[in-house]
């Protein structure tokens, strides 16, 4: 299996660990300022990003603005786990050439644009994007006084371990 896919799967597996530790009330709690987003909205957003990649792969055209935004995934741990399993299963079977060019549609703030990518770059971005959202989720955990059993959750693998110890 490709190293980029292995990294993504390793990162996504953290979603299963946290979903199994949460109840639905915690998943959809949007009381933390300043953004008032929930753990569920961030997890759904992460999974939607991968879903866009997988749906667009057959045509080598990925539209990151065409997310499914299934509200049930944001509110129900069981639904979120099912969506996660679907994404992981599809990623495990995903065959690609990491240097193959694809077209990606995104909105960077000025409207939709088409950007040339490679599958390797897009999957690498998806993994980094996931870790970024895990950091936000970790902030929400802290404010909601939710403890999880993963001391490096939300930290980029390149973060020096001594930084994790001193937190």
Predicted pLDDT at 17: 92
Pair of tokens at residue 104: 């990606």
User: Which residues, at least 6 apart from 126, have a Cβ–Cβ distance to it below 8 Å?
Assistant: 8, 49, 50, 53
E runs forming strands in the chain:
61-63, 101-107, 112-118
Largest CA distance in the chain: 47
Closest CA relative to residue 122, chosen from 3, 4, 21: 4
The CATH homologous superfamily for domain 3-165 is dinb family like domain (1.20.120.450)
Distance CA 155, CA 72 (A): 27
Evaluate whether 137 touches 154 at the Cβ level (below 8 Å).
Answer: yes
The average confidence (pLDDT) of the chain is 94
Predicted pLDDT at 158: 84
Tell me the pLDDT band of 165, cut-offs 50, 70 and 90: low
Domain ranges for the chain: 3-165
Predicted pLDDT at 163: 60
How many distinct helices (H) and strands (E) make up the chain? 7, 3
Tell me the pLDDT band of 66, cut-offs 50, 70 and 90: very high
Angle of helix 39-56 relative to helix 3-19, nearest 10 degrees, comes to 150
Distance CA 16, CA 144 (A): 19
**Is the pLDDT at 167 greater than 90, yes or no?**
no
């Amino acid at each position: 299996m490709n190293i980029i896919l292995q990294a993504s799967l390793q990162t996504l597996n953290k979603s299963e660990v946290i979903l199994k530790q949460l109840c639905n009330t915690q998943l959809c709690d949007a009381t933390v300022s300043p953004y008032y987003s929930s753990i569920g909205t961030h997890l759904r957003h992460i999974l939607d990003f991968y879903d866009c990649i997988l749906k667009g792969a057959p045509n080598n055209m990925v539209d990151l603005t065409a997310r499914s935004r299934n509200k049930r995934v944001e509110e129900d741990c069981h639904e979120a786990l099912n969506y996660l399993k679907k994404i992981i299963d599809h990623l495990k079977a995903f065959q690609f050439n990491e240097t193959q060019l694809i077209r990606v549609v995104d909105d960077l703030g000025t409207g939709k644009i088409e950007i040339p990518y490679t599958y390797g770059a897009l999957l690498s971005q998806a993994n980094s994007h996931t870790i970024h959202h895990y950091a936000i989720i970790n902030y929400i955990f802290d404010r909601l006084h939710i403890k999880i059993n993963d001391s490096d959750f939300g930290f980029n693998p390149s973060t020096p371990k001594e930084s994790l110890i001193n937190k």
